[in-house]
Amino acid sequence: MADMNDDELLDALGVEVVPLKSSSQTPREERIIAGFEDILRFHDTHGRTPQHGEEQDIFERLYAVRLDRLRRLPEAQALLGSLDGPGLLSGVATPVDVNELDEDALLAELGVTAEPTVGDIRVLRHVRSHVEIKAAEEIANRTPCKDFERFADAFEEAKDGLKTGEWLTKPFAKDASIQVGDFYIIGGQVAYVVEKVEGNTTKDGRDNPRLRVIFDNHTEANLLLRSLSRSLYPDGDTPVGKRLIKIEAGPLFADTAESGDIESGTIYVLRSQSEHPFVKEHHELVHKIGVTGGKVETRIAAAAKDATYLLAEVEVVATYKLHNVHRTRLEHIFHRLFGAAQLDLLIEDRFGNPVKPKEWFLVPLHVIDEAVQRILDGTITDIVYDPSTARLVRESEIR
């Protein structure tokens, strides 16, 4: 046996020697195969081809776009035929509704671009980091939610709230907290954190529990908190996800912001310096109540040229910061409250056109401040302003 060479020794032991082969496939062909294998795994998991449609998971929509492109690729049948046991390539490419995300927008949202091969932009390549890919895979690894009906009302409340202005969205902030009961938008779908399944920590000691997350397409996933966070804010610079917040969840406005509040803007009370006889006579009573998301100073900078401000300089006599509030809704509250005392004044703008300014009221400043406090403590319900007594009273008292 000592005289045997390596090949003879292996042959005597019954070990077949298979020579190593260098890959005969080009990098482009390897990418095509890898992309098709993703689609095959989806088919094996779900028992169907990936579908287009806003109701589908965004990764499924990506695979649907990719499959359509592969079906149009001339060399795909020859290259992928041996892998295509389910016959996915023989189907007809599904047309995408023009109202849905177009392919470029869909791919850009997932960090996928066309491979810059000369004369060919049909082949996809992933450009996301390994960490992002792992987070995305965990998000995509979902199962049907068998008790979705338990959470259906919560989803409806959030979606309806966005339409009515009772909920708002905010880009997910870097390293922001994630809590049970939170709603997020990830890849065009609403996600609801309903339970902390188990507690874990990262290697550096940060909390990283596993969470049960329900999605509005009736699927769910058990996600590590850090994976969910990376899917919302993947590259450390640009958020791709949003947080949904119910406006009533925080104070309407206050002198200081509480933890987690969103500063929506400022309510301001102005007093006019107009020389108009009526305004000048009732200088201490005529006030403008407005709301702005920017700086009050910027808003009133050109007051003397704007009929909205009575074509005169104004004095800021009170301001209140807003937190977790829909500014338009707040304006409606003040218009309802002081509607009976709205200033009925017609002036000409600088072009000679008649203008009736809004948001000006014949109300003492202390009454406006009382209204603010009542809104703050929730006692504004059924309260109106009585111009005859210059007081806030219950509606029933002036009927």
Q: 213 and 194 in contact (C-beta within 8 Å)?
A: yes
Same domain, 269 and 392: yes
Establish if 183 belongs to a structural domain.
yes
DSSP 312: S
Last residue of a domain, one of 82, 103, 127: 127
Question: In terms of domains, do 340 and 379 share one?
Answer: yes
Does the residue 361 lie in any domain? yes
Residue-wise pLDDT tens digits, 231-272: 777 655 555 678 887 765 444 555 555 444 445 678 899 999
Question: Does a structural domain hold residue 22?
Answer: no
Domain check: are 365 and 270 in the same one?
yes
Asked which of 63, 98, 127 is the last residue of a domain, the reply is 127
Let me know: does 219 contact 57? Beta carbons within 8 Å: yes
**Which of 216, 249, 282 is the C-terminal boundary of a domain?**
249
Using DSSP, state whether 23 is helix, strand or coil.
Answer: coil
Contact 269, 368 (CB under 8 A): yes
Q: Tell me the average pLDDT of the chain.
A: 75
- N residues, the chain: 399
Same domain, 308 and 392: yes
Same domain, 172 and 56: no
Render pLDDT for 82-116 as a digit per residue (tens, 0 to 9).
888 888 887 644 443 434 444 444 444 444 444 44
Q: Tell me: the pLDDT tens digits for 324-373?
A: 666 667 777 888 888 889 888 888 777 777 777 878 999 999 999 888 88
For residue 122 the two structure tokens come to 């049909």
Would residue 21 count as lying in a domain?
no
212 and 112 fall within a common domain: no
Q: What is the pLDDT of residue 311?
A: 87
> What is residue 163's three-state secondary structure?
helix
Q: Are 395 and 382 in contact (CB under 8 A)?
A: yes
Query: Sign of the C-alpha dihedral, residues 250, 256, 257, 259?
Result: negative
- Rg of the chain, C-alpha, whole Å: 32
* 230 and 122 share one domain: no
Residue 148 lies in a domain: yes
Give the Cα separation of 120 and 123 in Å (integer).
Answer: 7
Same domain flag for 71 and 106: yes
Q: What is the pLDDT of residues 167-193, one digit of tens each?
A: 777 777 766 778 888 899 887 788 999
- Is there a domain that residue 8 lies in? no
3-state class (DSSP) for residue 228: helix
How far CA 154 is from CA of 192, 245, 278, 300, in Å, comes to: 9, 12, 52, 41
Query: Is residue 257 one of the residues assigned to a domain?
Result: no
Let me know whether 319 and 280 are in one domain: yes
Please tell me whether residues 180 and 78 are part of one structural domain. no
The residue to which tokens 């390994």 are assigned: 130
357-360's contacts with Cβ under 8 Å and 24+ in sequence apart are 357/288, 357/307, 357/308, 357/309, 357/310, 358/308, 359/288, 359/289, 359/290, 359/308, 359/331, 359/335, 360/272, 360/286, 360/287, 360/288, 360/310
Residues 273 and 379 occupy one common structural domain: yes
What DSSP character marks residue 39? H
Give the pLDDT of residue 267.
85
Residue 9 confidence (pLDDT) = 58
* Structural domains of the chain, count: 3
State whether 243 and 346 are in the same domain: no
pLDDT value of position 121: 43
Asked if the structure places residue 18 within a domain, the reply is: no
pLDDT of residue 55: 66
Assign 46 a pLDDT band (cuts: 50, 70, 90): confident
Contact 353, 306 (CB under 8 A): no
Domain that residue 292 falls in: 263-398
pLDDT attached to residue 82: 81
The single-letter code of the amino acid at 47 is G
